[in-house]
Amino acid sequence: MKSTIRDIALAPLGQRKIDWVVPRMQVLNMVRKEFEEQLPFAGKKVVICLHLEAKTAYLAHVIRAGGAEVTVVASNPLSTQDDVVAALVQQGIGAHAWYNATEEEFNQHLQLALDTEPDFIIDDGGDLVSTIHTTRPELLQRIKGGAEETTTGVLRLHSMVRDGVLKFPMIAVNDAQCKYLFDNRYGTGQSVWDGIMRTTNLVVAGKTSVIAGYGWCGKGVALRAKGLGARVIICEINPIKANEALMDGFEVMPMAEAAKFGDFFITVTGNTDIINKEHFVLMKSGAIMCNAGHFDVEVNVAQLKEIAVSERIARNNITEYTLAGGQMLYLLAEGRLVNLAAGDGHPAEVMDMTFALQALSLQYVALNYDKLSAKVYQVNTEIDEKVAMLKLQSLGLSIDKLTETQIGYLASWSSEEG
Ligand SMILES: NC(=O)c1ccc[n+]([C@@H]2O[C@H](COP(=O)([O-])OP(=O)(O)OC[C@H]3O[C@@H](n4cnc5c(N)ncnc54)[C@H](O)[C@@H]3O)[C@@H](O)[C@H]2O)c1
């Protein structure tokens, strides 16, 4: 199988990373066993567009265990780990990706992956689906459907449905409870701080963290900031989320006010232009900014460059910008997802659940595509609950079951019953 990667000699290093996560992804191990017996993707081709690190590599192996010919491609140029990609290629999985690909290379890689003519796809953020619809119309009939990983991608799919352009069914894996409750909240919460701390090697306790966006990811980032001893300020545009942040014990204010206080700024809104010129000039010298939202549009890097009098690399993955007033501001990982571009992403145990949802959702598409239409589907409750039960099982835990009396009680409505 043809691949476009940096260096196959890195494979042993990548294999070591994959070997570390496999025993820690027990739900996916159970799904793999089922797939090996049932071969739901026998004779089919799958393109997986995700952050190319060890956990994704294992998902690729699980989908292959279900009988598919698998090709992987990056969903973000800065999160690709060249050694992991090399290990995949050595194991017979196709790959078109390398770390720090230019925009042109990134798009070429997507095209090369699509040249395999997939039957099913997994996407993260919507770039693959968008590329297929805008540049590869000949594949629209062939592709039977797929699954989308993240909030931003699901939003883009809904926009495609609104505009009447989506041509195959997509499952919104992000919207499953076993995804956002654990991956977005606890996964992002932990891995964002891991990325910030390993990159800066600075203390968090006693400092002020400004978090823009109090959605599922923002809640996790704020919770962990509090646990690390930081003062936490939340910026929101949704009054309900703002009240929720207040009741969770955080301060709430607009970015124009918070800009003055922050030592750390973390954007995680899925929206654009969250921190701009008017905020940079208010910041304390030494302030550190990063983004955890899907695209690198939340910190306005173009405006930061515009008002900076100088710019230099201060440390690996940290750019220092000096403003005319003399204050120095720092941006991590060029404003791309800090936990993936300057870290290894979510913990393996969290991605275990997310990728089990991905694998089972793709199986659902493979078994039911003739009954599905070109819409965005929610993950079946049975799949969501199956992943939760398998997770408990993998932890050696069990839970209570409803008795017949309880089922009857919950279903009753008359005050005379029971
Ligand atoms: N870094 C990661 O590993 C990771 C993991 C999962 C999701 N994501 C991405 O993170 C982003 C957020 O995901 P989520 O699941 O938390 O979404 P969400 O919809 O639950 O939350 C987003 C929040 O941002 C708020 N918001 C929107 N515009 C804002 C603005 N201008 N100022 C302040 N707040 C604003 C919204 O009101 C909402 O509460 C998405 O881009 C998603 O794809 C990243």
- Alpha-carbon distance of 337 to 78, in angstroms, equals 9
Residues 201 and 211: their CA atoms lie apart, in Å, by 20
| Predicted confidence (pLDDT) per residue in 92-104, tens digit | 999 999 999 999 9
Rounded distance, CA 123 to CA 160, Å? 15
| CATH superfamily name and code, 10-181+346-395 | Adenosylhomocysteinase-like (3.40.50.1480)
Report the chain's C-alpha Rg in angstroms: 22
The closest alpha carbon to 212, from 297, 127, 137, belongs to: 297
Instruction: Identify the burial level of 162 via C-beta atoms within 10 angstroms of its C-beta, where 0-12 means exposed, 13-18 middle and 19 or more buried.
Output: exposed
Degrees to nearest 5, angle at CA 255 with 253 and 259: 105
Cα-Cα end-to-end distance for the chain: 65
CA 150 to centroid of ligand 1, rounded, Å: 10
The ligand 1 atom at the shortest distance from the C-alpha of residue 212 is 33
What's the 130 CA to ligand 1 centre distance in angstroms?
20
Q: Give yes or no for residue 252 CB within 6 A of ligand 1.
A: no
pLDDT confidence bin for 405, thresholds 50/70/90: very high
Write out pLDDT tens, residues 246-259. Answer: 999 999 999 999 99
Interacting residues of 283 by C-beta distance below 8 A, sequence separation 6+: 259, 260, 262, 265, 327, 329
**From the annotation, which residues make up the binding site for substrate?**
124, 149, 179, 183
DSSP-derived 3-state class of residue 310: strand
The tens digit of pLDDT for each residue in 270-299 reads 999 999 999 999 999 999 999 999 999 999
Residue 46 bridge partners (DSSP): 70, 120
- Separation of 213 CA from ligand 1 center, angstroms? 6
What element of type H or E holds 231?
strand 231-235
Residue nearest to atom 3 of ligand 1 (CA): 188
Residue nearest to atom 38 of ligand 1 (CA): 215
Q: 235 CA to middle of ligand 1, Å?
A: 12
The rounded distance, in Å, linking the Cα atoms of 14 and 19 is 9
The CB of 268 under 6 Å from ligand 1? The reply is: yes
CA of 336 to the centre of ligand 1 (A): 14
Ligand 1 pocket check: which of 78, 124, 127, 268 to mutate, most ligand atoms within 8 Å of Cβ?
268
Question: pLDDT for 327-377, tens place per residue?
Answer: 999 999 999 999 999 999 999 999 999 999 999 999 999 999 999 999 999
- Does residue 268 contact residue 217 with C-beta atoms inside 8 Å? yes
Dihedral (CA of 402, 404, 407, 409) sign: negative
What CATH class is the domain 185-342? alpha beta
Backbone angles phi, psi at 377, to 5 degrees: -105, 145
Residue written as tokens 């805008």? 134
Name the residue among 192, 187, 180, 119 with its Cα closest to residue 154: 180
Q: Cα separation of 163 and 95, whole Å?
A: 32
- Do 191 and 339 form a contact (C-beta atoms < 8 A)? yes
Is any ligand 1 atom within 6 A of the Cβ of residue 189? no
Q: Is the pLDDT of residue 417 over 70?
A: no
Task: Supply the pLDDT for residue 161.
Answer: 98
| Ligand 1 neighbour 6 (Cβ under 6 A) | no
Q: Ligand 1 within 6 A of 294 CB?
A: yes
**Pairing state between β 251-252 and 328-332:** unpaired
Each residue's pLDDT tens digit, 390-400: 999 999 999 99
CA of 303 to the centre of ligand 1 (A): 22
Amino acid residing at 275: I
- Output b/e per residue, 236-272; b: 16+ Cβ within 10 A: beeeebbebbeeeebbbbebeebbebbbbbbbbbbbe
Question: Which is the closest atom of ligand 1 to the Cα of 346?
Answer: 3
Topology alike, domains 10-181+346-395 and 185-342: yes
Ligand 1 centre from 172 Cα, in Å?
Answer: 16
- Work out the mean pLDDT of the chain and round it to a whole number: 97
pLDDT of residue 6: 96
Domain ranges of the chain: 10-181+346-395, 185-342
Residue 90 has what pLDDT?
A: 98
User: Could you give the C-alpha distances from 151 to 54, 157, 228, 273, in angstroms and in order?
Assistant: 22, 10, 26, 18
Query: Is the Cβ atom of 241 under 6 angstroms away from ligand 1?
Result: yes
Average pLDDT over residues 127-154: 97
Cα separation, 344 vs 353, in Å, equals 17
Residue with tokens 């992991």: 84
The SS3 of residue 268 is: coil
For residue 180, the ligand 1 atom closest to its alpha carbon is 15
Closest of 16, 363, 331 to residue 200, by C-alpha: 331
Residues marked as binding? Answer: 124, 149-152, 179, 183-184, 213-220, 236, 271, 292-294, 339, 346
Average pLDDT over residues 54-74: 98
Give CA separation, 314 vs 259, 321, 327, 337, in Å. 22, 9, 14, 19
**CA nearest neighbour of 280 among 254, 309, 255, 304:** 304
pLDDT digits (tens, 9 = 90+) for 141-173: 999 999 999 999 999 999 999 999 999 999 999
Q: What pLDDT does residue 46 have?
A: 98
Contacts of 69 (CB under 8 A, 6+ apart): 1, 44, 45, 46, 94, 116
pLDDT-based confidence at residue 74 (cuts at 50, 70, 90): very high
